[in-house]
Every structure is written in C-alpha cells, then in structure tokens.
Amino acid sequence: MSRTGRGAVATAHSNIALIKYWGKRDARLAIPSTSSLSLTLDVFPTTTRVAFDDALETDTVQLDGAPMPPRAAARVSDFLDLVRERAGITTAARVVTENAVPTGAGLASSASGFAALAGAASTAAGLDLDTRELSRLARRGSGSASRSVFGGLVQWNAGTGDADSYAEPVPSGDLSLAMIVVVVNAAEKAVSSRDGMRRTVETSPFYEPWVSRSADDLAQMRRAIADADLASVCEIAESNAMGMHGTMLGARPPFSYWEPASLAVMGVVRALRDRGVVCGFTMDAGPNVKIICSPSDVATVTAALDDAVPGAERIVAGPGPGLLIREDAS
C-alpha cells in the first residue's frame, strides 16, 4: 500500500537526565538496564516535517537546510521503516528537520530529534498514537527520545520489553528548577553515547554496581521531588552522574568526556555550595556541564561562572513542553 498525504510537522525539546540512562539490556528494542528520570528543557527544540510521497524512490532527509550525512540519514530511514511497517505502507518519505540550537553549542540532541520524528512520521503515516505509544516508538530511535515526548519532569520506566518500556510525566509539585548549560566545548564528541554505553556494558567492572545503585537513586529522587527538596535533588543527581562517568573509567579501553574546563565548572558548583547556595551538576556524553539550581539563584551562579570560566557560553533553561504535533499546512 502507498500513501501520499499532506504530511505532518512536530516539535520536541531536549531533555537532561537527573537519573541517567546508560546501557541497554536489548539493543534492538532499546530496552535500558535502568529506569531514568529527566527534565525536558524549554530550549533547543527540533522541528521536523514528514511527508510520504509516491513520487519519491527513496527517503530524502534534510537537516538545517542541507542533506543529512549518510549515517545519520540511514538511522532516520531505519526508524521510518518501523513506522511504515506499523502503518502497512511502503512509501518513501521527505523529511525536513531543523534544530534550534544557539550558536552551534554542540548540543543538538537525538532526544528531541527522534521524539519530533516519531510524532511527525507516525501522524503523516496515518497512525493515531497516544503519548505512551509515541514514547515507545521514539525509544526505538534513541532511548532518551522516549522522555522528550513529555514536558517537565519525566520518568522512563525501563520495563522488560517493548510494551512496558515507556516514559511518563512525573508531578513536580512545588519544586522549581533551573538548569544552566555551560558550554565547555561545542565540538562533536569522539565517543558517541551509543558506542560509549555499549563499551561500558560489555567491559566495565564498575557497570553492574552502578546499575544496582540506580534503582535506589531513582526512589530517593522521587521522594526528593515530592518533598520539593532541591538540595537532595542536586545531591542525588550529581552522585548518579558521577557514578555513570566512573563506569567509563573502568571500560576497556577506558574513556572519559571530561575536559579541564568541565572540572573548573564542577569546582564553581562546590564553592557555591560551600557558600550556602543550593546547586548541583550533571554531565552527559560530552564535556559540557549542566548546573541545577533554583531559578532565584541563576544570577548568583552565572556571576560565579563569569569569574571562574570567563567566556564559556551558558544557556539558562527551565522546564519545557512535551511533543507538539500538527498537520503540515505548508
């Protein structure tokens, strides 16, 4: 069966995990070893248009006005195959995607990308998926994308298979959070998160202890969120992230995403804490550091950064919206 239609457009935002996803139990289905919890941000959206078109022989994929590099485009096509299979069509698609990342901050994320693609492609294919099904579908593109389907605080339940591995919103109660992304280096990372986590799972003796600790971290994080206890949120997120980065040092060959400036930013956070400012940090598969604090302390934190790491670009973010899908009017 074929389908030529008007297409659909979807927007999704990046998310940063407070309890990390690092490692899969099933790579084909993208079932993680641990549940994770993140904040969807109000910055760095990806907007993607998808139209299936009988006139096309193969998928065409454009990123920020240029053809997407072949490896990334192949990953998009593989994802579209999942959508086509589910919709019972074989039609090729035109995909046009734009990442609103400020001044090449090196933070373009597969999370916002595959969440937006899941929304636009499934709608353009005539599927009418609810948010849970969209989260499960986005997960197949990139694990963290399962969380960008929802806004604010989000938990991805690891589950045991395709049906029960999905994200859902976490009530934030009275907790108010800001996240300051400190751009230490915007260049593309040498080890992708996908390759890094695979190497860690396969070779690091530090991995299993981190996994078994993670369930406790998540339970404590849920309690801290419910109690609007920002100091505990920061402490648990920081320990969980440091543990994840520790697993990489035990991998063969070992690797690390940290750069000298990353350590300088960590030092700023510790010094602020010593002064009584409630804050913490987290880091992902790259050298950039994300500082967690109260919105009312953003100015204090940025002033401290000005002194210690002058010139480092910073983006101040807050909780952002979930996936937005609309018919393509263009």
Phi, psi for 69 (deg, rounded to 5)? -55, 145
Q: Does 155 bind ligand DP6 (CB under 6 A)?
A: no
Q: In the sheet where 279-283 sits, what is the strand order?
A: 279-283, 289-293, 178-183, 313-317
Report the residue number, 149 or 285, with the smaller CB distance to ligand DP6: 285
Report the residue number, 91 or 110, with the smaller CB distance to ligand DP6: 110
Nearest approach, Cβ of 61 to ligand DP6 (angstroms)? 17
Binding to ligand DP6, residues 193-222 (CB under 6 A):
193-194
Query: Going along 70-166, which residue ranges are E strands?
Result: 93-99, 153-156
Q: Does 25 bind ligand DP6 (CB under 6 A)?
A: no
Nearest approach, Cβ of 14 to ligand DP6 (angstroms)? 10
Q: By 3-state DSSP, what share of the chain in percent is helix, strand and coil, each rounded to 5?
A: 40, 25, 35
Query: Going along the chain, which residue ranges are E strands?
Result: 8-19, 24-26, 31-32, 36-52, 60-63, 66-67, 93-99, 153-156, 167-169, 178-183, 279-283, 289-293, 313-317, 324-327
CB of 42 closer than 8 Å to CB of 88 = no
Structure-token pair, residue 255: 């690797």
Q: Does 135 bind ligand DP6 (CB under 6 A)?
A: no
Taking residues 243 to 282 in sequence order and writing x for each that binds ligand DP6 by CB under 6 A, - otherwise, the string is ----------------------------------------
> Which residue bears the tokens 């299936």?
52
Distance, CA of 248 to CA of 206 (rounded, Å): 8
Report the residue number, 107 or 129, with the smaller CB distance to ligand DP6: 107
With CB under 6 A as the contact rule, the residue among 3, 13, 20, 314 that binds ligand DP6 is: 20
Report the residue number, 194 or 213, with the smaller CB distance to ligand DP6: 194
Q: Does 17 bind ligand DP6 (CB under 6 A)?
A: yes
Structure-token pair, residue 175: 């907790």
Report the residue number, 91 or 142, with the smaller CB distance to ligand DP6: 142
Cβ neighbors of 54 (< 8 A, separation 6 or more) are: 2, 3, 4, 91
Nearest approach, Cβ of 214 to ligand DP6 (angstroms)? 11
With CB under 6 A as the contact rule, the residue among 33, 36, 91, 204 that binds ligand DP6 is: 36
- Contact window for ligand DP6 (CB under 6 A) among 17-25, 224-232, 247-255, 320-328: 17-25
With CB under 6 A as the contact rule, the residue among 8, 9, 30, 158 that binds ligand DP6 is: 30
Alpha-carbon Rg for the chain, nearest whole angstrom, is: 20
Nearest approach, Cβ of 129 to ligand DP6 (angstroms)? 20
CB of 99 closer than 8 Å to CB of 112 = yes
Q: Does 110 bind ligand DP6 (CB under 6 A)?
A: yes
Structure-token pair, residue 282: 């987290």
Structure-token pair, residue 127: 């599927």
Nearest approach, Cβ of 235 to ligand DP6 (angstroms)? 18
* CA distances from residue 131 to 87, 149, 327 in whole angstroms, order as listed: 17, 7, 17
Query: Which residue's CB atom is positioned nearest to ligand DP6?
Result: 143
With CB under 6 A as the contact rule, the residue among 59, 217, 238, 284 that binds ligand DP6 is: 284
With CB under 6 A as the contact rule, the residue among 143, 152, 319, 320 that binds ligand DP6 is: 143
How many residues contact ligand DP6, by CB under 6 A?
14
Report the residue number, 237 or 301, with the smaller CB distance to ligand DP6: 237
Distance, CA of 279 to CA of 232 (rounded, Å): 10
Which residues of this protein are in contact with ligand DP6, per CB under 6 A? 17, 20-22, 30, 36, 110, 142-144, 193-194, 284-285
